[in-house]
Structure 1
Amino acid sequence: MSVASKAATLAGDEAAAGRLKILVICYEFPPVGGGGGRVAARVAQGLARKGHEVRFLTSQVAGLPREETLDGVTIRRAAAGRRRPDRCTVPEMAAYVLLQWWPAIAEARRFRPDVIHVHFAVPSGPIAWLASRLTGTPYVVTAHLGDVPGGVPEQTDRLFKLVKPFTTLIWRRAAATTAVASHVGQLAEAAYAVRPDVILNGIDMSTDLVRAPAQDGAPLRLIWCGRIQEQKNLGAGLEALAAIRDLDWTLDIIGDGPLRGDAQERCRRLRLDHLVRFHHWMTAKEVETEMAAADVLYLPSLSEGLSLVTVEALRVGLAFVASRIPGVMDVVVEGENGLLCDPSSPAEFAAAVARLVENRLLLARFQANSAGRRLQFDEQTMVAGYERVLRMASKAGR
């Protein structure tokens, strides 16, 4: 055997020895759910591209195949009691836990993974904990925000008063824990006395996307994208825009959710129908196209983890008018690539949008600075971080 052949064989053996079998458990996978599910999918697909064998167990929703392979990841969907892709109620989360524990255990026994990677300590955490207890497979928890006490208090405070004793067990029995933003990690540490590794959300930044240049005299094009629910504070964002309805701007709203009807009715009441366009959920490529045609990401949220939408907006070089909250401030630097506002002050949002309508040079500077920050949120860095944590955690089961 030649030296080159021996080297190739050794390299192949080393690669095989380093290959992990990873079972991902997450109650959402695109097109079901929001940004957290998209992050889980990107991580899984990135790990598969690095040569790991990845299976992804998630919720079955009408119209989706029970099993498929996407970008090297085997996706298995099991009954979960979920009726709609854009929302999951607390009773549906309870149904998910009751219905998915057996498919998870069966998959763990059949697949025999080196490690389980569970996204969302609630509701997916209990399933990973039980599968780990019955199979001896170590698991890693990744927190996204709403699954941590204090993350989205307006939605989950009452829930955590009931389930925190059990979620404490999930966190403390994990072989490793991670969080998608520093403040999410801080909330987890305060609640559970564990210190997660912080791995910032990332997307593929390997190709340059060209944002459509604004035409002279064209309105300022705002875009909002996400699940239309209380946390996103879209109603207050629309109230802000009503105060400047006579200025030259438009808003595209992409997404669905429990408050979509309320937002549409509010637009009618505020006489914004001619300025605001509603779109249903779109594919990632369609969202990318819409963002490339916009000027500003409008984000009046009450709370965010590390919003994937903000990272996607960086990729196309959008300016920001956004809430001054943790998670957003990881991406948006005040006065550098956007304007930050108090989420409880529609007047601040109105003034910020008006400023960019009237100052297109400032807008162009913000957009150029956003494009310059994008490599800080590259998907390869994110995937490498999870690979390191999962590899270390897998050794806990040996």
Structure 2
Amino acid sequence: MKILILNYEYPPAGGGAGNQTKLLAEEFVGKGHDALVVSSHFKGMPFFEIVDGLKIIRVPAFRKHKSKSSLLQMAIYLTAAKLPFFILCLFWKPDVILSFFLMPTSILAVTGKMFFGIPCIVSLRGGDVPSHMPGNTGGYNLLFKKIADFIVRKADMFTSVGSALSETAENDFPGIKNKLRTIRNGIRVKQRYRRKYDKINFIFLGRLSPEKRVYELIEYMHEIDFDFNFYIIGDGSERSRITALLNKIKDSRIRYCGWLDKKEAFALLKKSHFMLMNSEVEGLSVSALEANSFGTPIISARCKGMNEFIVPGRNGFLFDNAEEFAKIINKVVNFTPEEYDDLSRNSQNVMKKEFDISVKAEEYLDLFEEVTR
């Protein structure tokens, strides 16, 4: 089967959706299919390459930051991708189109459906569903809604990364219900690292955007009265606010590391005992899955997306406020090495049983077969 994949984010640029695109595309190729990704170009990367059989086209979008893409850059991607997209539809003749995000890539996907009769599937990620993360679409909700309603009518199927996101999408777009399937994000399980349980290392890994509430997380950690390391990895619109806070409190236990490439980020993740998250809402955090895959449990605010992923005491803990957060931190710091090792092992076992990327790829392939019959 020929699978055309559209996403304006692809490693080394972008976040969880870009990483998920790469993992799924590699799995499709590994299972004997012909996959091709059309994404945005980023400095230092080739405009076209073939990696282990996976074809990648990167079109100009003038993207300046690995961590984020502006509306203008998304629009440039959409414009620049039109020509290669139409050429691929005419001459490469994909059997199915998989588009990540409702906007902007799905405009191309439904165009392929309308002009060439190619079935298309849209993967909803969270930030592209207005009521799930209102801040991501707030300034252009009316325009977004009109285009999104058109895409909902024309696309063959939709997937979402969790039941909470599916419920929100059904409320925002009533016509989507019979076209929507939940296929959660997947991960390749890593080697579990047995960490010495003395000085505790915490980590945050993700975009520094308002809904992640990292500023408040730093305030919570600053109030903790024992010695620890807290590594903050990421970049985004909240960076200046966060660095200003760190300069003000001058807490040597809390370190901002900036945006790191995957190898550097994983090196810190391997030695971290817990990942900290304080999001207002999530789709299904790929960073959290990666942490669990290394055997790193999650301590997260209770929110959409994380509620259906974390089982307290099994692969992490959930909190509702600063007081509960402090209680959890004081609890885990008093774990015996054996108690921590059990939690670490269970965290990785959750990934093996429920989030194996190979299984998720098969779920997509089953859906491709369904829409191409």
The verdict on a shared fold, with TM-score over 0.5 as the criterion, is yes
Q: Which residue is equivalent to 1:270? A: 249
State the alpha-carbon separation in 1 of the partners of residues 140 and 226 from structure 2. Answer: 43
Residue identity opposite 2:11 in structure 1: P
Q: Are the equivalent residues in 2 in contact too, given 1:249–1:357 (CA < 8 A)? A: no
Q: Which residue is equivalent to 2:123? A: 142
**Alignment partner of 2:10: what SS?**
coil
2:331 alignment partner, one of 338, 348, 355: 355
Q: Which residue is equivalent to 1:75? A: 56
Q: Are the equivalent residues in 2 in contact too, given 1:29–1:37 (CA < 8 A)? A: yes
Q: Describe the superposition over 1:329-354 as per-residue Cα deviations: whole angstroms up to 9, x where unpaired.
A: 23211233322112xx3343233223
Aligned residue pairs, count: 368
Q: Which residue is equivalent to 1:309? A: 287
Q: Are the equivalent residues in 2 in contact too, given 1:181–1:327 (CA < 8 A)? A: yes
State the alpha-carbon separation in 1 of the partners of residues 360 and 326 from structure 2. Answer: 35
Residue identity opposite 1:127 in structure 2: L
Residue identity opposite 1:236 in structure 2: E
Shift in alpha-carbon separation, 1:315–1:93, aligned structure 2, 3 A: same
Residue identity opposite 2:322 in structure 1: P
Q: Which residue is equivalent to 1:369? A: 346
**Alignment partner of 1:170: what SS?**
helix
Q: Are the equivalent residues in 1 in contact too, given 2:128–2:136 (CA < 8 A)? A: no
State the alpha-carbon separation in 2 of the partners of residues 69 and 108 from structure 1. Answer: 19
Residue identity opposite 2:236 in structure 1: G
Q: Are the equivalent residues in 1 in contact too, given 2:130–2:136 (CA < 8 A)? A: no
Q: Are the equivalent residues in 1 in contact too, given 2:113–2:155 (CA < 8 A)? A: no
**Alignment partner of 1:164: what SS?**
helix
In the alignment, is residue 203 of structure 1 matched against residue 187 of structure 2?
yes
Larger radius of gyration: 1
Q: Which residue is equivalent to 1:49? A: 30
1:387 alignment partner, one of 352, 365, 369: 365
Q: Are the equivalent residues in 2 in contact too, given 1:21–1:113 (CA < 8 A)? A: yes
Q: Structure 2 matches for 1:1-398, cutoff 5 A? A: 20-193=1-174, 194-195=176-177, 196-205=180-189, 209-215=191-197, 218-244=198-224, 246-272=225-251, 274-342=252-320, 345-360=321-336, 362-375=339-352, 376-395=354-373
Q: 1:40, CA displacement in angstroms?
A: 1.1
| Greater mean deviation of Cα atoms: 226-235 or 350-359 | 350-359
Q: 1:63, CA displacement in angstroms?
A: 1.8
Q: 1:103, CA displacement in angstroms?
A: 2.8
Residue identity opposite 1:354 in structure 2: N
**Alignment partner of 1:141: what SS?**
strand
**Alignment partner of 2:121: what SS?**
strand
Shift in alpha-carbon separation, 1:366–1:41, aligned structure 2, 3 A: same
Q: Describe the superposition over 1:72-110 as per-residue Cα deviations: whole angstroms up to 9, x where unpaired.
A: 210001112422221112233233333323332222223
State the alpha-carbon separation in 1 of the partners of residues 238 and 87 from structure 2. Answer: 37
Shift in alpha-carbon separation, 1:354–1:267, aligned structure 2, 3 A: farther
Q: How many percent identity over aligned positions?
A: 28
Residue identity opposite 1:125 in structure 2: S
Q: Are the equivalent residues in 2 in contact too, given 1:239–1:346 (CA < 8 A)? A: no
Residue identity opposite 2:300 in structure 1: A
Q: Are the equivalent residues in 2 in contact too, given 1:310–1:331 (CA < 8 A)? A: no
Q: 1:199, CA displacement in angstroms?
A: 0.8
Q: 1:232, CA displacement in angstroms?
A: 1.3
**Alignment partner of 1:102: what SS?**
helix
Q: Are the equivalent residues in 1 in contact too, given 2:292–2:315 (CA < 8 A)? A: no
**Alignment partner of 2:275: what SS?**
strand
**Alignment partner of 1:137: what SS?**
coil
Q: Describe the superposition over 1:257-280 as per-residue Cα deviations: whole angstroms up to 9, x where unpaired.
A: 2222321221121222x1122224
| Greater mean deviation of Cα atoms: 352-361 or 319-328 | 352-361
RMSD: 1.8
State the alpha-carbon separation in 2 of the partners of residues 101 and 163 from structure 1. Answer: 20
Q: 1:61, CA displacement in angstroms?
A: 1.9
State the alpha-carbon separation in 2 of the partners of residues 363 and 267 from structure 1. Answer: 29
State the alpha-carbon separation in 1 of the partners of residues 70 and 319 from structure 2. Answer: 30
Shift in alpha-carbon separation, 1:186–1:108, aligned structure 2, 3 A: same
State the alpha-carbon separation in 2 of the partners of residues 225 and 365 from structure 1. Answer: 23
TM-score w.r.t. the length of structure 2 is 0.93
**Alignment partner of 1:252: what SS?**
strand
Q: Describe the superposition over 1:121-141 as per-residue Cα deviations: whole angstroms up to 9, x where unpaired.
A: 112111212233222211111
